[in-house]
């Protein structure tokens, strides 16, 4: 495939229905056209805002009881 074929595929035929599709393209572009399965798999949760928000809530919910110390969760600074 040449550049025009890829451009046509991305603009006209590809459906960006899932987060992995644009993330895979970004990983490939950042890697000058190559990326391992692992690199792409690691990039997906980094760019999926819904997953980030979900795990932020889990960290607070599970972290507070575990970190009962003066260094625990600070709501003001939003840090542990």
Task: Return the HEC string of 39-75.
Answer: HHHHHHHHHCHHHHHHHHHHHHHHHHHHCCCCCCCEC
69 versus 33: the higher-pLDDT residue is 33
> Is 41 inside any structural domain?
yes
Number of domains in the chain: 1
Rg (CA), the chain: 19
pLDDT at 46 (0 to 100):
85
pLDDT at 76 (0 to 100):
67
> Is 59 inside any structural domain?
no
Tens-digit pLDDT profile for residues 22-64: 888 888 889 988 899 999 998 988 888 888 888 888 877 776 6
Q: How far apart are CA 67 and CA 72, in angstroms?
A: 5
19 versus 8: the higher-pLDDT residue is 8
> Is 40 inside any structural domain?
yes
What average pLDDT does range 64-79 have in this prediction?
A: 62
> Is 74 inside any structural domain?
no
Please answer whether residues 80 and 63 qualify as being in contact, where contact means their C-beta atoms are separated by less than 8 angstroms: yes
The whole domain housing 35 covers: 16-52
């Amino acid at each position: 495939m040449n550049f025009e074929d890829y451009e046509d595929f991305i603009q006209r035929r590809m459906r960006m229905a899932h987060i992995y599709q644009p993330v895979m393209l970004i990983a490939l572009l950042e890697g000058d056209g190559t990326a391992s399965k692992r690199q792409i798999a690691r990039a997906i949760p980094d760019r999926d805002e819904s997953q980030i928000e979900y795990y932020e809530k889990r960290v607070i919910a599970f972290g507070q009881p575990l970190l009962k110390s003066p260094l625990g969760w600070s709501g003001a600074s939003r840090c542990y």
